[in-house]
Amino acid sequence: MELDQETRRLLERFGFDEALFEQLRRRYRAGALSAAHNRIVGQVEPPAAEDVRRLPPPDSAGRAALTERGLVALRAGQVGCVVLAGGMATRFGGVVKAGVDALPGRSFLSLKLADIASCARRAGARVPAFLMGSFATDDELRRLSRDLATEAMPVEVFPQLISLRLDEAGELFRGADGAPSPYAPGHGDLTFALRLHGVVERFRRGGGKLLYMSNVDNLAATLEPAVIGAHLEGGAAVTAEVVAKDPGDKGGAPARVDGVPQIVEDFRFPEGFDQDRIPVFNVNSFCLDAAAIDRDFPLSWFVVKKSVDGRPAIQFEHLVGELTAFLPSRFLHVERRGPDGRFQPVKDPDELERRRPDIEAIMRARGVL
């Protein structure tokens, strides 16, 4: 594949796998990889009652017991946090979202890390924070995080992988400038990138046992000892947070596929499956056993069509929620909004304006502000 030197250097820096790229391109050209192949083949049913557990309300005995169990793990240095801050830095006018002010004078990243540091201080614990960026956000994440680390919360930035877009015929897509068009191939890169950069190995060697993962743009997904305790009590390798659906919600949801509890993305449900039969959906916040994710997984590659420079472009992505198809998983039903709410995602400036009052209320309730 002929590439200019600048593109080649970028790809080499961020772990481009040319052999995998060519394999996926061949499958796409042969029709073996397409949007039609994204759907699950198998028996899909709503989750069983025992698959989904509700987080007990604050001030309850059940919540107190889970909180104490989580605090023990935190004080033992067993817990770390992963913040997903990759992507393409396009939805806020080309500015890296992590650096955008979510509240006056406070960026998404500064609030996210302040939450982790606050929890660490209250617990008397040391909680490392690992930020997964992309080729489009890596340099800025390193700059932004430089002054945010503390003794109780060391910060490490590592990048996800990189690939190149195709056109609909399977040829290399070139942008308006004639250059190849790189992209970040989805948050399913997480376990691969954690291993590639030695992050999970170092974490485990230092006594780390579980990682709490959430998106940088969901500030309500705070580090909560009770959630850590619920994960430990559940005994599964993965605990995925879910919330009650609002009308019109689209997204992954817990289901059973051939009897196995897992997160199924909305575009993967079989034709005709009534997703309203499942009253909750996935919010992309997970507790992950570090030992269980320290291996390769045969995650599916999904065909995604994007509009780039006004033309259709094809990219292949994989999603972190599919880990639940390979590891024993449970689902934790948490509050969506209110002081105990854990889901306030922000995808663009308009949504940020709508959510700011709720974000501020949650940050104050958690003692971050």
Q: pLDDT (tens digit, 9 = 90+) per residue, 310-335?
A: 999 999 999 999 999 999 999 999 99
Read off the pLDDT of each residue in 57-73 and give the average, rounded to a whole number. 97
Q: Given a cut of 80, is residue 359 above it in pLDDT? A: yes
Question: What residue type is 235 in one-letter code?
Answer: G
State the pLDDT at residue 217. Answer: 95
Higher pLDDT, 95 or 270: 270
Q: Using a pLDDT cut of 70, give the percent of the chain over it.
A: 100
Question: What value does the mean pLDDT of the chain take?
Answer: 94
Return the CATH fold of 32-365. Spore Coat Polysaccharide Biosynthesis Protein SpsA; Chain A (3.90.550)
Q: Is 221's pLDDT higher than 80?
A: yes
pLDDT score for 250:
78
Rounded to whole angstroms, the Cα distance separating 360 from 339 reads 10
d(CA 221, CA 213): 9
pLDDT at 88 > cutoff 80? no
Task: Give the pLDDT mean for 106-127.
Answer: 96
Nearest one of 18, 1, 28 to 169, comparing CA atoms: 28
Across 124-143, average pLDDT: 96
Mean pLDDT confidence for 182-193: 95
Task: Look up residue 63 and give its two tokens.
Answer: 């919540």
Question: For residue 91, is pLDDT > 90?
Answer: no
Task: Sketch the domain layout of the chain as residue ranges.
Answer: 32-365
For 28, 36, 305, the CA distances from 32, given in Å and listed in that order, are 6, 9, 16
Sheet holding 44-45, edge to edge: 44-45, 253-257, 260-264
Q: Which of 148, 86, 139, 146 is nearest to 317 (CA)?
A: 86
Given this model, what pLDDT does residue 89 score?
Answer: 66
Task: Select from 231, 284, 211, 230 the least CA-distant residue to 253.
Answer: 284
